[in-house]
């Protein structure tokens, strides 16, 4: 039986072995009286095809064709296309490029198209909204950017600033090996003033859209130059994993804030987290988690595992299996307060209704239905736009394809997931392949799907990724074209 049914919801995505990934950081700055956009583009080495360099033992190199388009509505304000070659490495490694564009004040759309020069099908398109400040006031502050370790550098190096080599964080992620966060901004004044100004820089809990508690802050006095770079440092060794924003603000002697800027980041600190939650034993105020039994609490924590992202994702196994019950309640409460601050209790109950329904729908007598691959994908990305189930192809295992018009989490369009039932046990569908960034990608998924029907080894295999087309083998067409 073949059944086709419509459901409802919504990167450019293709079928290929690797999914090209790029981390991009941007900032609005001023130089010689002109505003400009600074863009840092990091190519993630593991997602691009490196080739061995002839005549260079153990050396490999990659390259990407980049097209940068900066526009306002239908008007293109700036455009550049070029090939960025990596340095020579022994293993696939990230590489970085910086571009600066002089722009008038206003809102722009930055579009980046990237193509792996060694694999033309490995491509990516990214769009990002950027704002260029006017810097017309007497006192101005540039955008804030976050950097990892900083070293001295030749000023001619394009990724250096003020003689320092500063590489931005990948995806705004402060990894556990970073103990000090480097915060960079620039102060612009129209003229030198004798009036004292001060800067407050802080790490604040939660992303910049909300109001969070200050985790750590420091102050310093400005020296009074018309253009003053600020390299500010804050320790993060005792900062728990989570979402934060860095705040930089300038205030006067009357403690009046004159200008401020913020930037979001994620901190990962697993060793500190384990010790924190292991010893957590506080009594919290009464809330919707207070009356949950140990079993109900365990069930609820397992249910949210699909939508807990790094860096807290790595904590889930410990929280579920080893953390004291007060810590489990605190973790669950914090999760909903953070992700649904306006109505945490209502959001919790609505989510659990869906999780319980999926537990029934996808239950396969192995674990909770929401812990199966289909349950996980449903909870993480929502209901697919369309779905196709096929169990009548004699050469294949039963399979199911989910189609998403748009995934907000990855900023991708036309995303596909294919699940298959290799065991033929009821509801035992496993994720075989997807075009979703961060999920399982298997370039040889066709061979795995049709292994059941390939009686003569390799008789119907075209190459290491695909099988011969026939009326009994429609999965590739359904996956790519439906």
Any domain includes 318: yes
pLDDT in tens, 92-119: 999 999 999 999 999 999 999 999 999 9
pLDDT of residue 155: 73
Tally the domains of the chain.
4
Any domain includes 366: no
3-state secondary structure 86-129: CCCECCCCCEEEEEEEECCCEEEEEEEEEEECCEEEEEEEEEEE
Any domain includes 6: no
Average pLDDT over residues 178-204: 91
Check whether 80 has a pLDDT greater than 90: yes
pLDDT of residue 465: 64
**Residues 102, 177 within the same domain:** no
Average pLDDT over residues 197-209: 92
Domain of residue 252, CATH code: 2.60.40.10
> In terms of pLDDT, which residue wins out, 276 or 247?
247
**Residues 389, 477 within the same domain:** yes
Check whether 462 has a pLDDT greater than 90: no
Average pLDDT over residues 405-411: 86
Check whether 368 has a pLDDT greater than 90: yes
Check whether 355 has a pLDDT greater than 60: yes
Rounded to a whole number of angstroms, the CA Rg of the chain reads 26
> In terms of pLDDT, which residue wins out, 175 or 192?
175
Indicate the helix (H) or strand (E) that contains 271: helix 270-278
- Tokens 């900083």 identify what position? 150
pLDDT in tens, 125-146: 888 999 999 888 889 999 999 9
Any domain includes 345: yes
Q: Which of 267, 284, 309 is the last residue of a domain?
A: 267
Average pLDDT over residues 435-453: 85
Q: Which of 87, 117, 135 is the last residue of a domain?
A: 135
Q: Which of 361, 389, 423 is the last residue of a domain?
A: 361
pLDDT of residue 183: 96
The whole-chain average pLDDT of the chain stands at: 87
pTM of the full structure: 0.73
Structure-block tokens of residue 352: 């659990």
Check whether 2 has a pLDDT greater than 70: no
Determine whether 163 is exposed, middle or buried from the number of CB atoms within 10 Å of its CB (0-12, 13-18, 19+).
exposed
**Residues 351, 404 within the same domain:** no
pLDDT of residue 134: 86
Any domain includes 7: no
**Residues 170, 62 within the same domain:** no
Indicate the helix (H) or strand (E) that contains 61: strand 60-61
**Residues 241, 154 within the same domain:** yes
- Expressed as residue numbers, the domain containing 324 is 271-361
**Residues 141, 263 within the same domain:** yes
Question: Quick one: pLDDT band at residue 464, thresholds 50, 70, 90?
Answer: low
Range of weakest confidence among 149-153, 187-191, 241-245, 287-291 = 149-153
**Residues 396, 436 within the same domain:** yes
- Tokens 């009594």 identify what position? 283
**Residues 261, 249 within the same domain:** yes
Any domain includes 344: yes
39 close to 82: Cβ distance less than 8 angstroms: no
**Residues 248, 294 within the same domain:** no
Q: What are phi and psi of 439, to 5 degrees?
A: -110, 175
Check whether 458 has a pLDDT greater than 70: no
**Residues 131, 141 within the same domain:** no
Any domain includes 104: yes
Range of weakest confidence among 53-57, 218-222, 247-251, 290-294 = 53-57
**Residues 254, 276 within the same domain:** no
Determine whether 155 is exposed, middle or buried from the number of CB atoms within 10 Å of its CB (0-12, 13-18, 19+).
exposed
**Residues 37, 56 within the same domain:** yes
Question: Quick one: pLDDT band at residue 467, thresholds 50, 70, 90?
Answer: confident
Q: What are phi and psi of 135, to 5 degrees?
A: 55, 40
Any domain includes 149: yes
């Amino acid at each position: 039986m073949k059944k086709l049914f419509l459901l409802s919801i919504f990167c450019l995505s293709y079928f290929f072995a690797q999914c090209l990934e790029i981390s991009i950081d941007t900032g609005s700055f001023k130089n010689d009286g002109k505003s400009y956009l600074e863009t840092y583009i990091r190519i993630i080495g593991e997602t691009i095809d490196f080739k061995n360099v002839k005549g260079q033992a153990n050396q490999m190199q990659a390259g990407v064709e980049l097209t940068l388009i900066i526009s306002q509505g239908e008007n293109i304000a700036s455009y550049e296309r070029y090939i960025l070659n990596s340095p020579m490495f022994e293993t696939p490694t990230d590489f970085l490029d910086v571009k600066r564009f002089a722009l008038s004040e206003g809102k722009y759309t930055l579009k980046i198209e990237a193509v792996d020069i060694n694999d033309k099908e490995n491509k990516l398109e990214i769009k990002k909204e950027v704002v260029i400040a006017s810097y017309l006031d007497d006192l101005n502050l540039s955008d804030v950017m976050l950097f990892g370790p900083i070293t001295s550098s030749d000023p001619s190096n394009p990724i250096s600033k003020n003689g320092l080599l500063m590489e931005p964080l990948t995806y705004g992620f402060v990894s556990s090996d970073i103990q000090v966060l480097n915060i960079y901004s620039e102060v612009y004044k129209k003229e030198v003033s004798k009036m004292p100004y001060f800067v407050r820089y802080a790490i604040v809990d939660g992303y910049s859209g909300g109001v969070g508690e200050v985790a750590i802050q420091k102050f310093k006095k400005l020296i009074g130059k018309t253009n003053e770079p600020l390299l500010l440092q804050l320790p993060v060794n005792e900062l728990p994993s989570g979402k934060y924003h860095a705040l930089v603000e300038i205030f006067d002697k009357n403690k009046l804030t004159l200008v401020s800027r913020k930037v979001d980041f994620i901190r990962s600190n697993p060793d500190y987290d384990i010790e924190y939650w292991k010893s957590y034993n506080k009594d919290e105020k009464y809330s919707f988690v207070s009356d949950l039994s140990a079993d109900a609490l365990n069930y609820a924590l397992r249910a949210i595992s699909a939508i807990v992202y790094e860096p807290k994702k790595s904590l889930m196994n410990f929280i579920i299996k080893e953390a004291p019950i007060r810590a489990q309640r605190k973790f669950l409460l914090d999760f909903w307060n953070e992700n649904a601050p306006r109505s945490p209790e209502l959001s919790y109950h609505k989510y659990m209704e869906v999780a319980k329904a999926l537990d029934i729908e996808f239950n396969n007598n192995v674990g909770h239905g929401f812990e199966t691959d289909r349950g996980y994908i449903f909870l993480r990305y929502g209901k697919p736009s369309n779905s196709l189930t096929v169990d009548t192809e004699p050469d294949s295992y039963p399979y199911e394809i989910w189609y998403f018009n748009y995934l907000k989490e990855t900023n991708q369009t036309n995303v596909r997931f294919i699940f298959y039932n290799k065991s033929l046990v009821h509801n035992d569908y496993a994720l075989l392949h997807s075009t979703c960034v961060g999920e399982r990608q298997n370039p040889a998924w066709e061979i795995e799907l049709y292994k059941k029907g390939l009686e003569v080894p390799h008789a119907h295999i075209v190459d290491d990724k695909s099988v011969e087309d026939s009326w009994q083998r429609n999965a590739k067409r359904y996956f790519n074209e439906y």
